[in-house]
Amino acid sequence: MESSGERGQSCDHGQVRRSGLLLDCSEWQVTVFPRIFATARDLRVVGCRAALAALAGLALWALLPTAVGWEPTSVVSGSMTPNIRRGDVAVSSPASSVRPGQVITFHGDQGIMTHRVTAFADGRITTKGDHNQSPDPDQITMEDVIGLGRLRVPYVGYPAAWLHDRQWDRLGLCAGALVAVVFGARVTSRSGRAGGLHVASRMR
């Protein structure tokens, strides 16, 4: 009759008895554990590379239109919510005229703004943020218009919004996460694992 101590693990003798199965500890060291670690490493690399690819795709989507003269602008407020959100990038094309209902990017009293045209008469343009209760206090002219809103690229403008609001903690976290993802996307050398296998096999 086996005692409880005898039914437990006995790796000193190179074996583990569990659930009626007799396992060789050295075999676990040589085959199972390295495979688990390699799978975890591969999943990390794939996940980090997918994240980098998504970020690069959004950045390219925001920057490529500049090749044809379009202008990307980071949205730093929520005045156009829900159609355009803080942290988005609004891409505008050159415009020779505008009409009510169109979204434009322009030089306003608070810097570069992206709002909707509500009226255009006698060369004066009235604008308003979709989320605001009242129109912008100052009217503009076509000379102030940067372009007509064409594309909205989400998330890419968050660093600019955090910088505008002096949210240094979020900028730091974003930079740290980006560094971690870049290093996580690197494929580590297999020499360490191969060396471990070699040592384990010699210990048998």
Same domain for 73 and 152, yes or no, is: yes
Of all residues in the chain, the percent with pLDDT exceeding 70 is 75
Does residue 30 form part of some domain? Answer: yes
More confident residue, 20 or 179: 179
pLDDT of 62: 80
Same domain for 108 and 130, yes or no, is: yes
Of all residues in the chain, the percent with pLDDT exceeding 90 is 41
Question: pLDDT-based confidence at 16, cuts 50/70/90?
Answer: very low
The tally of domains found in the chain comes to: 2
Edge-first strand order for the sheet with 9-10 is: 9-10, 15-18, 21-24
Q: Which of 63-77, 96-110, 164-178, 179-193 has the lowest mean pLDDT?
A: 179-193
Same domain for 98 and 144, yes or no, is: yes
Does residue 120 form part of some domain? Answer: yes
What is the tens place of the pLDDT at every residue in 94-151?
999 999 999 999 999 889 999 999 999 999 999 999 999 999 999 999 999 999 999 9
pLDDT of 196: 38
What range defines the domain where residue 92 resides? Answer: 69-165
Nearest CA among 66, 184, 57, 79 for reference residue 129: 79
Q: Which of 25-29, 49-53, 58-62, 109-113 has the lowest mean pLDDT?
A: 25-29
Single pTM value for the model: 0.65
- In SS3 terms, 69-120 reads as CCEEEECCCCCCCCCCCCCCEEEEECCCCCCCCCEEEEEECCEEEEEEEEEE
CATH of the domain at 134: 2.10.109.10
